[in-house]
């Protein structure tokens, strides 16, 4: 009979909880700000920089707190999926953060559409693809910023076992 030893599956739980906390704190404001800038009708011209800060202070800033409730399901699930590797001792890479955030957020968005289909007007392919392109930009920026914050905390490095 073979002798087996039991190992813990998640040997570094604080690393995983730190990734989840970073996603919960950082990602919703980033997605709210990106959504505000993508949907704003830009005038441009010589006052583009002034318009940029006006949009932030007058439109994006009041939407930060409501953005937490709107983006929380996809952000929470993305944080959980991205934290699986670091809680086992490996590091969070930029590629894995972006791909996992896109996949999980796409599934959540698809679930929203499937759930709300009987209650809303018909969704055509053009509207869905246009909104999906906005969402992709949001997800990529949010994953990049969360990875950058995790990198500053050293969560992108593997645990060195001696």
Which tens digit of pLDDT belongs to each residue from 147-161? 999 999 999 998 887
Q: What DSSP string describes 93-129?
A: PHHHHHHHHHHHHHHHHHHHHHHHGGGSPPPPHHHHH
Chain-centroid distance, C-alpha 75: 5
140: number of CA atoms within 13 Å, CB side? 6
Q: What is the pTM of this model?
A: 0.84
Which tens digit of pLDDT belongs to each residue from 67-126? 999 999 999 999 999 999 999 889 999 999 999 999 999 999 888 877 776 656 666 666
CB 33 within 8 A of CB 39: no
Q: Is 156 helix (H, G, I), strand (E, B) or coil?
A: coil
Which tens digit of pLDDT belongs to each residue from 113-149? 777 766 566 666 667 778 888 899 999 999 999 999 9
Which tens digit of pLDDT belongs to each residue from 14-56? 999 999 999 999 999 999 999 999 888 888 778 888 888 999 9
**Domain layout of the chain by residue ranges:** 13-40+48-152
Q: Is 59 helix (H, G, I), strand (E, B) or coil?
A: helix
DSSP 80: H
128 vs 3 pLDDT, higher one: 128
């Amino acid at each position: 009979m073979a002798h087996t030893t039991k190992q813990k599956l998640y040997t570094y739980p604080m690393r995983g909880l730190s990734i989840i906390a970073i996603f919960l704190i950082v990602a919703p404001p980033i997605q709210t700000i990106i959504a505000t800038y993508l949907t704003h009708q830009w005038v441009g011209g010589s006052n583009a920089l002034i318009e940029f800060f006006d949009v932030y202070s007058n439109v994006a800033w009041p939407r930060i707190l409501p953005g937490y409730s709107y983006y929380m399901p996809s952000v929470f699930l993305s944080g959980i999926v991205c934290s699986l590797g670091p809680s086992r001792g490996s590091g969070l890479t930029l590629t894995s953060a972006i791909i996992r955030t896109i996949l999980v957020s796409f599934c959540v968005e698809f679930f929203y559409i499937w759930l709300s289909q009987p209650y809303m007007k018909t969704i055509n392919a053009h509207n869905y693809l246009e909104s999906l392109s906005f969402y992709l930009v949001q997800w990529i920026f949010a994953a990049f910023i969360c990875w950058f914050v995790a990198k500053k905390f050293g969560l992108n490095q593997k645990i060195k076992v001696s």
